[in-house]
Structure 1
Amino acid sequence: MKCLLLVDIQNGFCPGGHLAVPGGDAVVPVANRLMAEGGYDLIVASQDWHPADHGSFASQHDGAAPFTMGTLNGQPQMLWPDHCVEGSEDAALRPDLDQTRIDTIQRKGLDRNVDSYSAFRDNDQTALTGLSDLLLARGVTRLDVCGLATDYCVKFTALDARAMLPEAQIRFIEDASRGIDPEGVRSAIKEMTQAGIAVVTSDTALSETRV
């Protein structure tokens, strides 16, 4: 059972969005090709879906500027620009992403008191989204992860997948992903590799026969 997990390919993380990842829109055609030609049995998309007063927003902290460190619920927290507010155009999946091929959308970041980079659980690792239960129930044996941004939500999603799906092969599709900071991307890839996550290209994924 092969699954493709598209992480946060939303307007907010693409050029023109409130928290744009450089070149974020370039992942869309690669993701579309993977969905169309990759032979996946299940395709899941995660979606940041924040309340307007989410505690990770710099606007919720007096005098704080975006991209500075603060605290949230007693824990260190990067403070972000307001982004992907539930129901907003910023939160919508990219319109050029072929959403007809997506089987399930997993929303995350709904609790204003904790951030949620991973599609599997909140950053404090207490509240689960239910995605691991879905993938275990479906018997997923290979999970390919890609999307936005490599050094945050993609990395944490892949690492949680490695921890929560112990029998599955977990892979990161590098050219179907983009990151915020080049050094952060290099560090994320190293961390994923050290955790046993394979780094592959879309061409590798597309060249394989369906398992």
Structure 2
Amino acid sequence: MNRNETNSSRGLEFVRRAAYYAIVGTSAHRLNTTRDARRARYTDPLCSGLHIREAGVSLSAPAAAFAITMSLAKNNKKASVNHRRSSSNKLSSPRDCKCEGSIMADVNKAGAGLSHLSLSSGENLFDAIRKTNATKCSAKAQEYFNTFDVDSDGYLNDREFDTLLKQLFCNKGQSYTLSKKQTTDIFKLIDENQDGKIDLKEFTECWHHWLKQILDPVTALVVVDVQNDFISGTMAICDCPAGQDGAAVVPCINKLLDTTRFDVVIYSADWHPENHISFIENVKDRKLHHTTKVSSENACKMDTVIFEGPPIVEQKLWPKHCVQGSWGSELHKDLKVVENAVFINKGTNPDIDSYSAFWDNNKLSQTGLINELTSRGITDVYVCGLAYDICVGATTAHSVEHGFRTVLIEDAARGVDVNDMKKTHDKLLRQGAALVNCDSVPGMVSADDRRPDLGYKAALNFAMARKLVKTESSQGGVKEKLSQDKKAAQTKAK
């Protein structure tokens, strides 16, 4: 087993243990210990690459699925009327609704004029409840379930679910076209018992955990490395092969910040020590591996060398840039910095580079970004900045790996090499990121524009979380039974 496989299995075990301890009432934070981190060789065991199979597709969403896992686990501790089938499919009283106070007021306000939901009204039934926290309300879940259950048989069949998807995935009154595979895959992910129909229990769970991500998204804007050295300093983007103007991203980002209300804005920055491994000025300070194709004497800017380590490191060489405390490391003076912003420094280890705002390039350690996102319950990550094919691309890819619904804002990014930018674009599309321009972002953040590719990602997160909780619930029951048998045997022996 190689290191990545080891990290993957350990990360899966951590998430499973976290789900188990959520069931028995122990804080997940107590699991995030230095010992766990040291064993897995990265700071947060929760965030390893983790792959399991569900509904014929590969799931890889440990960090984003974790919040759903915790919520599902807590719900499974209670015998809720919302998760029990009744012959009438009706909640017994208003108290069964989990919405209280301001949440219920928002839902009632949003639902004004829609007290009797009807598919024949011509109105989009989801537009009225977006960003109102209606997905926290079990009574609303039942109301929508009954509306889409056209034949009133107590289930949503594939045709009824298809009608739901057409209303759910919509932008300005126009439904997105989903392929047969997309609708089938999403249906299978929601249909927990795989009986070919969705009952009220399954729908209520997906209402609280899948539809929540679509109708009540929690959003973060990650502004990557909009620093002086990348705009007019030692590593100015305009001097790179693509010849793009790095300063052009500043007005785009500022407009986004003025017109769009993100739940958190995060600024990342290269923050290198003087002896950093990426600086061509330091190439002779470390021994090169025998497989490297260029000597330290002949190495040029943008050459790739291999350092002997340990660990062995493949490194592209750059001019000295973004040195800690220097003018070049500062954010551009015209970039708007919002109140209550979060700042993430990366590349602080002299012996390894860090393109991504999440991980170093060898995934041996991570920044605090993942904790900032998960602690806020972020579902959607929007990425922009410099450079498209390096730090922006790496940050976007890792956000997808962590399971966040991830959007790269292309016209708010500039790159180094046109060919590499095209490769990055294609790779991110394959991974499941959405690639958009600034004009699309406000509608997506407000949930007016609900895209099927991001909805599919949300379904993957939900299915993974449910699988983890189910596994741990089963294992927890077995452990409890064994413990009881052991105690009974000890009592009998006495």
| Structure-1-length-normalised TM-score | 0.95
**Cα shift at 1:102:** 6.1
Q: Which has the larger Rg?
A: 2
Q: Which residue of 2 aligns with 1:123?
A: 361
Q: Which residue of 2 aligns with 1:92?
A: 330
Deviation sequence 1:1-57 (CA, Å, 0-9, x none): 11100000000111x211111310000000011111111110001000000110111
**Cα shift at 1:85:** 0.4
Q: CA RMSD in A?
A: 1.3
| Structure-2-length-normalised TM-score | 0.41
Q: Is the 8 A contact 1:44 1:102 kept in 2?
A: no
Q: Which residue of 1 aligns with 2:352?
A: 114
Q: Which amino acid aligns with 2:219?
A: K
**Cα shift at 1:100:** 3.4
Q: Is the 8 A contact 2:399 2:406 kept in 1?
A: yes
Q: Which amino acid aligns with 2:223?
A: L
Q: Which amino acid aligns with 1:182?
A: V
**Cα shift at 1:209:** 5.8
1:4 aligns to 2:240 (yes or no): no
**Cα shift at 1:71:** 2.1
Which structure would you say has the larger RCO, counting Cα contacts within 8 Å and 6 or more residues apart?
1
Q: Which amino acid aligns with 1:170?
A: T
Aligned length: 208
Which of 224, 235, 259 is the matching residue for 1:19? Answer: 235
Which of 252, 263, 269 is the matching residue for 1:41? Answer: 263
1:69 aligns to 2:304 (yes or no): yes
1:206 aligns to 2:422 (yes or no): no
Which of 313, 316, 324 is the matching residue for 1:78? Answer: 316
Structure 2 counterpart SS, 1:143: strand
What stretches of structure 2 of length at least 5 have no aligned partner? 1-217, 238-243, 285-296, 448-494
Distance in 2 (CA, whole Å) between partners of 1:84 and 1:100 is: 22
Q: Is the 8 A contact 2:313 2:352 kept in 1?
A: no
After superposing on structure 2, the runs of 4+ consecutive aligned residues of structure 1 that deviate more than 6 Å are: none
Distance in 2 (CA, whole Å) between partners of 1:7 and 1:111 is: 18
Q: Which residue of 2 aligns with 1:171?
A: 407
Change (3 A) 1:83 1:102: farther
Q: Which amino acid aligns with 1:45?
A: Y
Q: Which residue of 2 aligns with 1:144?
A: 382
**Cα shift at 1:130:** 1.8
Q: Which amino acid aligns with 1:18?
A: T
Q: Is the 8 A contact 2:265 2:338 kept in 1?
A: no
Q: Which residue of 1 aligns with 2:420?
A: 184
Distance in 2 (CA, whole Å) between partners of 1:102 and 1:57 is: 33
